Structures are given as C-alpha cells and as structure tokens.
C-alpha cells in the first residue's frame, strides 16, 4: 500500500593598505570585543565532538596551496550513466541536466543502491552524492509508484536543494515530493502531505513534529536516506533521528552519507543499517583544489580589510562566514552601506528571505553572501570564487565544511581566514 502521509485534522569606496598574507603562529583569541557582534569567544571546540580549536592554533592549518589540476590523475569511472540499469526516460533526464560522466561516489554507489543494498558513503563535500542516491531511488519509484522515500538532512537549505535537484531528474514523471522543514509554514506542509508523495525531504525536528501530530505516517516508508549524518549528530538531532527510524518498517533500505567517520557515527551505522556496503571516496580533510591562506588583521579594522579584498577584481562571488546571527546580519548591512551587493543568511531570517538571498547569490545578482555555519550547511553553489572566514570556526570540521563551498568538483577555489 502507498505510504500514508496524513490522517490528522486539517489546518488550513574606500582604499586601504593591502592586507598581509601568510604568517607565523598566532595566539588564542582573547575575550575582548570583536569588530562586530559582541564579545569574542575563546574557542574550545563546538558541540558534536569535532576537532577542537586548540588543534589548529598553528596557522599552517589554514595555509595550503591547491594541487595543480594538470598534475593530478584524472578519475576514470567504471560506468557511464548509460550503463546503469535504470529507466531510459531517467537516462534522458540525466543527459538533459548536463551530467556527462559519473563522479567517484556516483560511479561506486549507484550500482549498490540499485541492487537494494544498504550503503555507507563517506565523501568530501561537493562530490555529487545527492545524485548518487537520487538517481537509483527515482528508478526504484518508477518501478513501483507506491514506493515512499524519506530523506533526512540537517538544514532547510539542504532539504530545498535536494528537492530542486530531484525536480530536475523527475521532469515529465508522475513523481511527487514535499519538503518539511522548520521555519516554514507547517499548515502548507500539512496540506501538501495530503497528496501522494514519493519523496519526503525534511529536517529531523519538523519531521518528528509531523509524525507526533499524526500528519505523517512512516510505517509505509521502506527507504530512508540520512544525508550529512555527521552534521545531524553535531546539531543534536540524534534522538529525533532514532525516533523517526523507530517509526519506519523494520525491513527497510537505508542509505547513510557522512563527510567524517567517528565512534558516534559508527554506532549509528551499527544501529540503523544491516550489512552495509561501505564506500569511501574521501581524499583528505580539505579539498586539494582549494588554495588556503591567512590574512593577519592585528591592529586593523576587520571590516576595512574585508572591504579592501572585495574591491579586488578576482573576488567576484564571495561567501563570508561569521559566528553569530546578529554579527552576520550587521556585517551584510555594513557592506551594503559601503556599496557592495551583499545579502545574509542566518537562523533569524525566515525561509523565504533566505531562499531569496540564495537565489540572488546563485544567479550572480549579488557579490557577497554573509552566512552562519548552520545556515550555509550543505549549500551547493557553483563558481564561488572565495570563502572568507571572517570569524574563526568553532572546530576544524567546521573549517573543512566552510572551505568546501568553493573549489567544487574539479574547479579551483580560494579560502582565506582572518587571524589576529
């Protein structure tokens, strides 16, 4: 029987001296006030057990020249998209979307997912893992239109992004999806859940609310994707994840994707998956095609230093990371007042304004997007020229995530970290 989704009641320019790059060891930030956003925190590591700040006190952690693409061995996939045992109509949509050859994670994961095996995928960000699970699962739905797939992700932006990717693959098919995330109208989501949906894509908190209020019933869902599971764990969603899994069919198909592997992640894999196929295409902590460097701001106004950088022609599409919601919003307004086309995304902005800012950035209508870590999690935006760590990240894992927004795929990118 088609998975039920609802049964509950209805509810209807200045110029400054060029900033210096490179440098030697630097001291831990003190508790004095930063250039915006309140007292500066001494970084002892964030929640979720990522590597602590003390482990990257050495500036060399932020300095790494990109590997010259011409000197690297090109990946040769074992398959072409035409080789996969999938519906011909789906193959045509893949071609229409501009996919030429599978990435490593797609090449290795798709055959196993098509066979119905549980899969653990460990991959760097920007490796094409969304298509690695969407393509075989769409084929699964085409073979059985009553198939229901639950996709759990840590943030609303990632959920929306996956849904947009899905819509490109299912053009012309009678396959439907609904996004269930916090910060958006629950009444609209409840209304959409009344229809037949093959794909439910959402964040753990909102999904749990919908299940508890009996608008979403997971008994009929036999396929689940846990995407960026490490980040869901870091954000404290473990109990919500376990709750959702307990409501699903015992015999299910589980796909688990993470950028990192830890004891906690291993425990989740043991609890949630049965004899999974493990696939790792992770090549290192940070992307090898991202040029990483530092900017010493000691004795200078950070906003002035940032202003000077953004005036440089190479800084065409820049993602700036700040620590707090208030600080991010304030910085974006300061940049706008200085004549830069800038927007912000953070947890205090409603979903429609966040989507609007992302669309403007994606379509190159603005030069700068200022973001908090949580708001930018999972963003896949092409051609970001630079990532700037305006505020230091809480953990090394957060640093790896941040700089992974540039240098996507085989392209080169640059990441700069402000230090005092």
Q: Do 328 and 394 share a domain, yes or no? A: yes
8-37 confidence digits (pLDDT tens): 443 334 433 444 344 333 333 333 334 344
Which residue from 105, 118, 98 is spatially nearest to 79, judged by alpha carbons? 105
145-168 confidence digits (pLDDT tens): 999 999 999 988 899 999 999 999
* Segment (H or E) for 93: helix 88-96
Q: Do 152 and 265 share a domain, yes or no? A: yes
What is the DSSP secondary structure assignment for residue 59, as one 8-state letter?
Answer: G
Q: Point out the domain boundary residue: 231, 254, 280.
A: 280
| Band of pLDDT at residue 284, cut at 50, 70 and 90 | low
Q: Point out the domain boundary residue: 280, 302, 320.
A: 280
Q: Do 261 and 314 share a domain, yes or no? A: no
Q: How far apart are CA 216 and CA 214, in angstroms?
A: 5
CA angle 204, 205, 211 (to 5 degrees): 85
Q: Do 122 and 230 share a domain, yes or no? A: yes
Encoded tokens for 163: 């849904």
Q: How far is CA 208 from the centre of its chain?
A: 21
Q: Is residue 380 part of a domain?
A: yes
Q: How far apart are CA 90 and CA 134, in angstroms?
A: 11
Domain that holds residue 101: 81-280
109-146 confidence digits (pLDDT tens): 999 999 999 999 988 667 789 999 999 999 999 999 99
294-338 confidence digits (pLDDT tens): 898 888 899 999 999 999 999 999 999 999 999 999 999 999 999
Q: Do 256 and 134 share a domain, yes or no? A: yes
The reported pTM is 0.66
Q: Do 177 and 113 share a domain, yes or no? A: yes
Per-residue pLDDT at 29: 37
pLDDT for 73 beyond 50: no
Q: Do 166 and 264 share a domain, yes or no? A: yes
């Amino acid at each position: 029987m088609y998975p039920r989704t609802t049964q509950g009641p209805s509810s209807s320019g200045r110029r400054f001296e060029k900033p210096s790059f490179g440098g030697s060891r630097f001291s831990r930030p003190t508790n004095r006030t930063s250039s915006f956003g309140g007292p500066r925190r001494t970084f002892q590591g964030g929640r979720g057990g990522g590597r602590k700040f003390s482990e990257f006190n050495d500036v060399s952690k932020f300095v790494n020249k990109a590997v010259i693409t011409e000197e690297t061995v090109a990946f040769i996939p074992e398959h072409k998209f035409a080789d996969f045992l999938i519906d011909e109509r789906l193959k045509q949509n893949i071609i229409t979307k501009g996919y030429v050859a599978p990435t490593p994670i797609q090449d290795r994961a798709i055959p196993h997912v098509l066979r119905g095996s549980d899969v653990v995928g460990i991959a760097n960000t920007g490796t094409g893992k969304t298509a690695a699970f969407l393509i075989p699962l769409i084929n699964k739905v085409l073979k059985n239109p009553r198939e229901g797939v639950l996709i759990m992700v840590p943030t609303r932006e990632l959920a929306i992004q996956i849904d947009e990717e899905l819509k490109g693959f299912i053009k012309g098919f009678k396959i439907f999806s609904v996004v269930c995330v916090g910060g958006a109208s629950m009444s609209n989501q409840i209304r959409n859940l009344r229809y037949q949906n093959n794909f439910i894509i959402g964040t753990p908190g909102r999904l749990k609310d919908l299940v508890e209020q009996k608008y979403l019933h997971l008994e009929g869902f036999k396929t689940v994707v846990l995407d960026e599971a490490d980040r869901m764990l870091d954000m404290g969603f473990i109990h919500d994840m376990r709750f959702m899994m307990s409501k699903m069919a015992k015999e299910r198909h589980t796909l688990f994707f993470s950028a990192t592997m830890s004891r906690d992640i291993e425990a989740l894999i043991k609890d949630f998956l049965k004899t999974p196929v493990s696939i790792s295409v992770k090549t290192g902590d940070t992307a090898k095609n991202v040029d990483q460097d530092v900017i010493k701001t000691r004795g200078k106004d950070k906003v002035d230093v940032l202003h000077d950088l953004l005036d440089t022609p190479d800084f065409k599409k820049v993602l700036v990371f700040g620590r707090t919601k208030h600080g991010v919003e304030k910085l974006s307004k300061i940049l706008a007042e200085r004549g830069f086309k800038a927007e912000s995304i953070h947890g205090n902005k409603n979903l429609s304004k966040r989507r609007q800012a992302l669309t403007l950035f994606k379509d190159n209508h603005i030069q700068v997007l200022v973001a908090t870590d949580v708001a930018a999690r999972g963003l896949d935006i092409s051609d970001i020229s630079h990532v700037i760590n305006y505020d230091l990240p809480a953990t090394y894992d957060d640093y790896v995530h941040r700089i992974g927004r540039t240098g996507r795929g085989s392209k080169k990118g640059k990441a700069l970290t402000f230090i005092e």
